[in-house]
Every structure is written in C-alpha cells, then in structure tokens.
Amino acid sequence: MTLTRRTILAAAAALTLVPAAAMAQDTIKVGEINHYKRMAAFAEPYKKGIELGLAEINAAGGVLGKPLEFVFRDDQGDPAEAVKIAEELMTRDGAVMLTGTILSNVGLALSSFAAEKGYVYLAAEPLADSLVWSSGNANTFRLRASTWIQAAMLAEAAAKTDAVKYATIAPNYAYGQDAVAAFKANLKRLKPEVEFVAEQWPALFKIDAGAEVQALERAKPDAIYNVTFGTDLAKFVREGGDRGLFDGRQVYGLLTGEPEYLEPLGDEAPEGWVVTGYPWYAFEDGTPEKAFVDAYEAATGETPKIGSLVGYLTAKSIAAALNRAGATDTASIIAGFEGLEVADTPIGPMMFREVDNQSTMGAYVGTLALEDGKGVMVDWSYKGPDGYLPSDEEIMAMRPAD
C-alpha cells in the first residue's frame, strides 16, 4: 500500500476511531506553540504536516492506547507569551509535553522554561545550535537539521572555489549569529587562507536592503554568504540584483532553496546560488519522498513546504517517543526520546542522538535555477549529518552539565 493511499485511508479512519467527545476527554495531548499570525506562511504548512501525521497515527491506534492530540496555540513570536502559554498548556490543558516554534529566540526561551519546570520540549523548527549545544539541557530535543551541518555543507562547496574574500549577511539574533559562526569555522578549517571582509547584521524583518547591499559592495568580496530569509531575503535579492551585487560573485544561501522563501521570489530567484532547501518538485516516483509529497497534496490540495515535512516528522517522532516511553511522565518521555530511532520517514531512518538530543535529519543542497519563471533547485542531493558535525567530545564540552 502506498503512503498516499494509506494516508487517505488514515484520515478517514481517524474520524471514526472514537466519538468526538471521547477524543476531547480521553486523548494524550501535546502542547504546540507557534507564530501562526506573525509567520502564517511558514507556520500553517507546518501545522498541516502535523495534522497529516496525526491522521496516520490515530488511524493506527494512537499512542499508548489513546488518540494523540495536538493543542495548537499562537504566541505571536513573543518569547514571554510563549512561556506563559506553555505553563497553561501543561498545568491547565493537560499536555504531557511541549513542541513547536520557528524563531530561535522563542525556542531558547521555551527550552530554558522546560528545564526549569521539568517539562519535555521538542524544538521542531528553531535552527540555533545553542538549543542543543551551549544552552542545551536534558529536557530539550531538536528536530530540524542542525544549522552547523547546513552551514558546513555550504562551506564544503565554497572551499572548492577560488574565492578568498567573503562577506556575510545574517539577521541579528541567535539563529543568524550561529549560522555565520558555523560557516566561518567550517570554511576556515577547510581553507585557512580565506578572510571575511564584511559582516552585515540587519534586524530580523527590518532590513534596509539598499544600505546592506552598498556596504557589501564596498567590501569587494569574492563571494557572499547569505542567511536572510522571508521578506528580508526578498528585499535583499531584489536590491542586490538591481545593483549588480551578485554579478561575478558566488553566493551561498542558507535556507534560500526552501519553498517558503524561494516561491515568493518568482522570476527574481537568483540563478547560480548554492543553497540548502527542499526540492519537492523533483522527487522520483516510488520513493518515500515522493509518496509524502503525493499524500500531502491529496490531503491539503497544496504543494508541500519544508515546514510540511518538519510538521509531519514532529508528529511521527513524538508518537514514536511516547510509545517507546510507555508512559507520559517527564522522565519516561525523556528516556523515550534519547537514542530514539524513527524508521519509516520520507527522508529515511532518523534518530535522536544521545550526545546532544539532536535528530539526524539532514539537508538538501543544490543550485538555484529558473524554470518556467520560478526558482527551483537543480543538481541537488540529500546529505546526512555524518562527516559535518563536531566530534562527540567537542559537543559534550559545549553542553552544560545536566
């Protein structure tokens, strides 16, 4: 049975497993906190991915003999609001653990809160590596591919070129800072003679693209490393293209190939950039990747985003952890996540590393091209984290003592 057909049957079966009243009264609840109003274009596909995963999980019997339920709450991208909601979800709404968030500053706030209160938090989308390294704790796990490994993959490509002088541009918060530090460390290791001649740090979603482009041009770099995303990316691409910043320069774009950020660029998508992303449109029939795309399109009537995949993996990972835990207390859930293997996923087997509570989700790396007036990734490949991470000893030295 294909994933597409299985999912459609699951969605129907999930509606008939138990009466609605029973679902409300006798479910295992997970508190999901995200920026549904502030970042709707990114959070909504993620939510739909969760719902697709839940349909399959509950059609197959749920977890620990009960339906699994996600309670979705909106924090509007505010760390203080996220913490307030988290406490309500755990003490009033009966959630057994927390998940969610896109912005890293919100994820870091929830991680600290979970450790303080003795809750479990699965950081689904936050990208700052401090979540699992310098600020890591035993109660926090992270699903999204490490910022470090994605930056290392781009650095690997950059090291093969003749470029020596690099400029960087990144949003000035935890994710951007970690992303630049990771790229610099990996590129200097692979090619010690490189130098970084400019660093631009626009405020998140408040970029002055004209000023940033002028500053980068003045530095005369051979190549540029870009970490901007969302509306900041669109403004940077337009202004940089108009002013010729990218002419004759290789650009490396972290996340730029993800549909959430690439699709809004339309025919302004910058050709030739080396990026990480999600080439859902290029998966071959008969692969788990294509089966997920087909199932998502059948269930939602929309094409998937990277958030769709992350949401689906979030639901599947939590269900697998709870079933492995055998109970819903914090200690049992932590034990369920540590070293957890999630075998049947669209990206193949995945596990949560015991050394840092980070999943082994990898990343797609490729080059941007224009096809039919829109940006796509070409010459792409999926790369796992092996060979790109610091050693276990280095990671353990970074993490605080639990």
CATH for 295: 3.40.50.2300
pLDDT at 401: 76
Query: Mean pLDDT over all residues of the chain?
Result: 93
pLDDT at 177: 94
- Same domain? For 334 and 200 the reply is no
Could you tell me if 268 and 180 lie in one domain? yes
Is pLDDT at 6 greater than 80 in this prediction? no
Calculate mean pLDDT across residues 74-97: 97
Give domain status of residue 358, yes or no.
no
Please give the average per-residue pLDDT across 104-110, as a whole number. Answer: 96
Same domain, 306 and 228: no
89/140 same-domain check: yes
Q: How many domains does the chain have?
A: 2
- Model confidence at 11: pLDDT above 50: no
pLDDT at 353 (0 to 100): 97
Q: Write down the pTM of the prediction.
A: 0.91
**Does 206 lie in the same domain as 128?**
no
Same domain, 380 and 257: yes
Q: Is 73 exposed, middle or buried (0-12, 13-18, 19+ CB in 10 A)?
A: buried
Q: Examine the pLDDT at 16 and tell me if it is beyond 90.
A: no
- Cα–Cα dist 134/38, whole Å: 28
- Average pLDDT, integer, range 146-161: 97
Q: What is the dihedral angle through the alpha carbons of 257, 365, 56, 307, rounded to the nearest 10 degrees?
A: -30
Cα-trace Rg, the chain: 21
Residues 211 and 333 in one domain: no
Q: What is the pLDDT of residues 277-312, one digit of tens each?
A: 999 999 999 999 999 999 999 999 999 999 999 999
**Average pLDDT, integer, range 103-114:** 96
| Same-domain status, 168 and 273 | yes
Claim to verify: residue 85 and residue 168 sit in the same structural domain: no
Supply the pLDDT for residue 25. Answer: 54
Domain residue limits at 84: 3-144+284-351
pLDDT at 167 over 80: yes
**Token couple for 317:** 């990972």
Q: pLDDT tens across 258-275, in order?
A: 999 999 999 999 999 999
Check whether residue 324 and residue 225 sit in a common domain.
no
pLDDT tens digits along 309-358: 999 999 999 999 999 999 999 999 999 999 999 998 999 999 999 999 99
Domain assignment present for 116: yes
pLDDT confidence of 402, banded at 50, 70, 90? low
Q: What is the mean pLDDT of residues 228-250?
A: 97
For residue 376, list its beta bridge partners: 369
Model confidence at 217: pLDDT above 80: yes
- For residue 356, tell me if it sits in a domain: no
Assign 17 a pLDDT band (cuts: 50, 70, 90): very low
Query: What does the pLDDT read at residue 5?
Result: 41
Q: Both 183 and 217 in a single domain? A: yes
pLDDT at residue 4 is higher than 50: no
161 with 262, same domain? yes
pLDDT of residue 2: 40
Q: What six digits make up the tokens of 328? A: 């819903």
* Model confidence pLDDT, tens digit, residues 363-374: 999 999 999 999
Q: What angle do CA 261, 267, 271 make, to 5 degrees?
A: 80
Closest CA to 307 of 385, 389, 229, 228: 229
Q: Is residue 173 part of a domain?
A: yes
Q: Report the 3 state secondary structure along the chain.
A: CCHHHHHHHHHHHHCCCCCHHHHHHCCEEEEEEECCCCCHHHHHHHHHHHHHHHHHHHHCCCECCECEEEEEEECCCCHHHHHHHHHHHHHCCCEEEEEECCCHHHHHHHHHHHHHHCCCEEECCCCCHHHCCCCCCCCEEECCCCHHHHHHHHHHHHHCCCCCEEEEECCCCHHHHHHHHHHHHHHHHHCCCCEEEEEECCCCCCCCHHHHHHHHHHHCCCEEEECCCHHHHHHHHHHHHHCCCCCCCEEEEEEEECHHHHHHHHHHCCCCCEEEECCHHHCCCCCHHHHHHHHHHHHHCCCCCHHHHHHHHHHHHHHHHHHHHCCCCHHHHHHHHCCCEECCCCCCCEEECCCCCEECCCEEEEEEEEECCEEEEEEEEEECCCCCCCCHHHHHHHCCCC
Share of the chain above pLDDT 70, in %: 94
Residue 193 lies in a domain: yes
